[in-house]
Amino acid sequence: MEIKYLRFAALLISAWAAMSLQFNVAYAEGKAKVTMLYKGHVEPIQGKTFLPWSTHDGARSLSTSVFVIQSGGKVLVGDPGIVRKGDWPTIMEKLANMGIRPSDVAYVWIDHHHPDPTAHLGAFPNAPIVDFWSVYTDEVWADHPNYFEVIPGVTVVRTPGHTNEDSSLLVDTDDGLMLITHMFWHNDLTPVIDPVAEDQHSLDVHRRLLLQRADLLFPTHGEIMKNPFKNTEWDGKPYRR
Ligand SMILES: [Zn+2]
């Protein structure tokens, strides 16, 4: 009986060793690893008008999906923004459990300038902020080109539409190219018409341009999914699985 348990334990340990080996090999090849720290949401509040600017006392409930990318020995945190009350310490705990201290974070990237992806920007003392056009290191505001590789395999692409200051990330992962973007808020690719877009036409152009290239899609109020529109044109409709 005891020997049987020992054998089972040995089997578990060797399976774990094989998995860690696989992870290390993949990491050494320079592919980026994306880990979600928090899943965002956007929801109406009962009795309140959902759309901004419709009434003077409208309101909505939202948070942003917070994530971390590890690549080439560098750590990037994405969209450290609004979370539900009391949830921020849990996010920092998840980072700590991955062996990442706030001071280890090399860059913070924000998908646009509204408070939803930016509210906790100050939590990473050594991390320059990266947005659609620049890298902000202390008092130095340094410009970068479109398609800027911020850490190995992680590229910032300008995707104006929701605001003129929106960008997305193209991330080279083991599972293919991942598009991390606010161009879609949710996993059903809604809202098709962004109710607060500064330029809906530009939003649609950039959606079609990038969506067909990506194997994986990560809408920044949602979570990572397989891209149903890889190599085909998005039909401009909500996506139902
Ligand atoms: Zn916004």
* Residue 240 belongs to a domain: no
| Beta-bridge mates of residue 181 | 219
Cβ-count burial of 175 within 10 angstroms (0-12 exposed, 13-18 middle, 19+ buried)? exposed
Q: Ligand 1 centre from 105 Cα, in Å? A: 24
Same domain, 88 and 202: yes
Q: Ligand 1 centre from 58 Cα, in Å? A: 16
* Residue 231 belongs to a domain: no
Same domain, 77 and 120: yes
* Residue 237 belongs to a domain: no
Q: Ligand 1 centre from 112 Cα, in Å? A: 7
- Given this model, what pLDDT does residue 53 score? 81
Let me know: does 80 contact 121? Beta carbons within 8 Å: yes
Let me know: does 236 contact 188? Beta carbons within 8 Å: no
d(CA 158, CA 2): 60
3-state secondary structure of 183: coil
Q: Ligand 1 centre from 185 Cα, in Å? A: 10
Q: Ligand 1 centre from 26 Cα, in Å? A: 34
Same domain, 130 and 25: no
186: closest CA among 213, 214, 223? 223
- Given this model, what pLDDT does residue 68 score? 98
| Total domains, the chain | 2
Same domain, 2 and 53: no
Longest dimension (CA), the chain: 71
- Note the pTM of the prediction, 2 decimals: 0.87
Residues 6+ positions from 69 with CB-CB distance below 8 Å: 32, 33, 34, 35, 75, 76, 78, 151, 154, 169, 171
- Given this model, what pLDDT does residue 21 score? 42
Q: Ligand 1 centre from 116 Cα, in Å? A: 6
Same domain, 25 and 77: no
- Given this model, what pLDDT does residue 61 score? 97
Which domain range does residue 118 map to? 31-226
Any idea what the Cα angle at residue 161 is, between residues 196 and 55, rounded to 5°?
A: 10
Q: Ligand 1 centre from 166 Cα, in Å? A: 9
Distances in Å between the Cα of 149 and the Cα atoms of 31, 98, 172, 196 are 13, 24, 11, 29
Q: Ligand 1 centre from 114 Cα, in Å? A: 5
- Give the distance, in angstroms, between the CA of residue 5 and the centroid of all CA atoms in the same chain: 42
User: pLDDT 10s digit of each residue in the chain, 241 long?
Assistant: 455 555 555 555 555 544 444 444 444 466 999 999 999 999 999 999 998 888 899 999 999 999 999 999 999 999 999 999 999 999 999 999 999 999 999 999 999 999 999 999 999 999 999 999 999 999 999 999 999 999 999 999 999 999 999 999 999 999 999 999 999 999 999 999 999 999 999 999 999 999 999 999 999 999 999 999 999 989 899 998 7
Q: Ligand 1 centre from 99 Cα, in Å? A: 31
Q: Ligand 1 centre from 196 Cα, in Å? A: 8
